[in-house]
Structure 1
Amino acid sequence: MKIYNQLSDFKKLDNAIVTIGTFDGVHYGHQKIVKRLCELAKSSGGESVILTFFPHPRMIIDPENQDLKMINTIKEKAEILANLGVDHLIITPFTRDFSNLSASSYIKDILVDTIGTKQIIVGYDHRFGKDRKGGMNELIELSKVYGYSIEEIPEQDINDVAVSSTKIRNALLEGDVSLAAEYLGYYFSINGPVIKGDKIGRTIGFPTANIFVEETYKLIPSDGIYAVTVEMSQEFVEEGLEPGHSTRNSQPTTFKGMAYIGQRPTINGMTRNIEVNIFDFNREIYGQTIKMNFLKFLRHDVKFTGLEALTLQLHQDKEDTLSFFNSQPNIK
């Protein structure tokens, strides 16, 4: 998949099959749109194009609201879309000027003149242009002028509940990573380099890798303990590479573990930490970027009377985590 960080980098195509949206989460409903996009591109001899935006439009239109967090970083989103078989991803910087484009200018200047759109695939609720006034009616009307065709994907349901990025965000903020995974079609994850902590976990038999999430807009699930899998470079694990060594082209190795998110109230912690105790793993991995997949919420964060009580609970947490994995034989 080719990635473009602005429209001016894109060379107009002869037969572009296009869909547009923020696609935060690239959830079950998004995936149906993207798969249909790729099917149509293949059957028509065209090329699939996704036009997405960064930052999220709501961050620009309502800058005072700092509560909106994203399910995916832009890099995570790109990786998921690439795996779905998309040919081109255009990441358009969303600005005030861009938000003020009329629906007709949006279609003519961007979709037709810049991208070369011959067919547009959109979800049932797609809106665009200044004040989100553009919709299916405008797309149909202007298709008569510019000669593109349109296909609308109907609302997608899971267990009679409409899938939406908002519902997924709410599930994650409540710690319900299992429900989020059902909506997403994959496990929610956090990616980041391992940084040094205060090493208290080592003193009680539960060493942890502390993960630093650089992207401040990335959603972090509710505080608590989770069953997780951890992916890291196979090349690093097998060959003993030094921290910071590039392993971009290697395949990941997966480990099981239990993660903690919270401020560590038992030791009067002041900052929110993201830590993971990786089972059957005892190497130093400072500086290495790892991916942590959230499979199941185990318990909320609580303050214990001291480290001894905390240690006893961590042993129970590990037993609960292993019991979960033993009940899920398909998780390797």
Structure 2
Amino acid sequence: MSKPIIACWGFFDGIHQGHQALFKQLLINAKIDNYQTCIISFDMKPQSVINDNDNKVLLSDEDKIKTITKYNFDYYWEIKFSKRIAILSATQFISWLLANNIKAVVVSPNIRFGYQGQGNIKTLQQSPLQVYLCDDIIVNNNKISSTYIKQLLQNKEISKANFYLQQEPYTICGKVVAGIKEGRTINFPTANLSLSTNYALPGLATYITLTEVDNKWYQSMTVIMLRHNKPLVESYLLNFNQDLYGKVIRVRFLTFLRDNLKFSNLDDLKKQLHKDLADTINYFTNIN
């Protein structure tokens, strides 16, 4: 008979400090009590199915799996979340865990699960499962969560969001597509991204970033703006003159540069971009 399994479950968007604490606790308890380890994730955010909204994410599914894989868990199970799954009772979910050789779980003391969140820590402790607790990470009365990190990004607090993500600075991915090419007319050609995932973008502003092209990172500055009421992401890469159309690139946000401004003419825009460029070069000079 195979060794029993210890597991934790969730959507794990962002793999932030809170998730990392849960994973480390799982590995510690597995080693002490001789369990196999398992992460149970969902293919989409449960709230997006239950509420038909709230579908912005911090990580693409591909990047989430890559990050979780680094922990070398014995199993990674991804459940296709649906309304049928959403109406499972807490007792039914526990029965499913037990039927799959899961004998122990690592959870937050404030966990809610099952239909309408009817299950809680007491539900688990009264079941045959061995229950290990992992406290939430609280900083300045804020629980470190995907929701909190999204708020920081929306408020343009990039450095703070990156600190709580910890794995790597906030990164998005997309294919370079044709834009209005305004930047080319003032010698600031930008890569216009068609995003691969419904990312929770930082607030409308200009940021200092790194942009990855063909596995090489370039210093860059990136603007997030609204065009036709939709967010537009454009990156200007320093010391770069290759054709990017059709390439899939990654943009990593390092820090806030400035709020977006309205310009009455292209000359004023060009002057501001030269200032932005100087500030960006100064930033990278000082961190090296």
**TM over 0.5: same fold?**
yes
Q: Provide Cα deviations, 1:67-110, integer angstroms capped at 9, x if missing partner.
A: 5521222222212212233332222122111111111110112x
Q: What letter corresponds to residue 207 of structure 1 in structure 2?
A: P
Q: Does 1:308 align with 2:267?
A: yes
Pairing 1:1-332 to 2, within 5 Å after superposition: 14-63=3-52, 66-109=53-96, 111-114=97-100, 116-143=101-128, 148-158=129-139, 161-185=142-166, 186-215=168-197, 217-233=198-214, 252-263=215-226, 271-329=230-288
Deviation for aligned residue 1:159: 5.4
Going from structure 1 to structure 2, the CA distance change for 1:42 and 1:280 (only over 3 Å counts) comes to farther
CA distance in 1, matches of 2:208, 2:218: 11
CA distance in 2, matches of 1:58, 1:160: 24
Q: What letter corresponds to residue 105 of structure 1 in structure 2?
A: Q
Deviation for aligned residue 1:119: 2.0
CA distance in 2, matches of 1:213, 1:200: 20
What's the secondary structure of 1:127's corresponding residue? Answer: coil
Q: What letter corresponds to residue 191 of structure 2 in structure 1?
A: A
> C-alpha root-mean-square deviation of aligned residues, in Å?
2.0
- Structure 1 window deviating more from structure 2 (73-82 vs 26-35): it is 73-82
Q: What letter corresponds to residue 133 of structure 1 in structure 2?
A: Q
Deviation for aligned residue 1:291: 1.2
CA distance in 2, matches of 1:231, 1:45: 41
Going from structure 1 to structure 2, the CA distance change for 1:99 and 1:271 (only over 3 Å counts) comes to closer
Equivalent in the alignment of 1:241: none
Going from structure 1 to structure 2, the CA distance change for 1:43 and 1:194 (only over 3 Å counts) comes to farther
Deviation for aligned residue 1:271: 4.8
* Contact persistence 2:142–2:148 (CA under 8 A): no
TM-score (norm 1): 0.80
Q: Provide Cα deviations, 1:39-73, integer angstroms capped at 9, x if missing partner.
A: 3334555432111123211112212xx35521222
CA distance in 2, matches of 1:208, 1:220: 18
What's the secondary structure of 1:272's corresponding residue? Answer: strand
TM-score (norm 2): 0.92
Deviation for aligned residue 1:279: 1.0
* Contact persistence 1:103–1:129 (CA under 8 A): yes
What percentage of residue pairs aligned between the two structures are identical?
A: 30
Q: Provide Cα deviations, 1:13-51, integer angstroms capped at 9, x if missing partner.
A: 642220011212111111011122233334555432111
Q: What letter corresponds to residue 13 of structure 2 in structure 1?
A: D
Q: Provide Cα deviations, 1:262-289, integer angstroms capped at 9, x if missing partner.
A: 136xxxx775321111111111122221
Equivalent in the alignment of 1:249: none
What is the aligned length? 287
* Contact persistence 1:158–1:183 (CA under 8 A): no
Any stretches of 5+ residues in structure 1 without a counterpart?
A: 1-11, 234-251
Going from structure 1 to structure 2, the CA distance change for 1:170 and 1:17 (only over 3 Å counts) comes to same
* Contact persistence 1:17–1:120 (CA under 8 A): yes
Any stretches of 5+ residues in structure 2 without a counterpart?
A: none
Q: What letter corresponds to residue 78 of structure 1 in structure 2?
A: I
Equivalent in the alignment of 1:245: none
What's the secondary structure of 2:127's corresponding residue? Answer: helix
Going from structure 1 to structure 2, the CA distance change for 1:13 and 1:323 (only over 3 Å counts) comes to farther
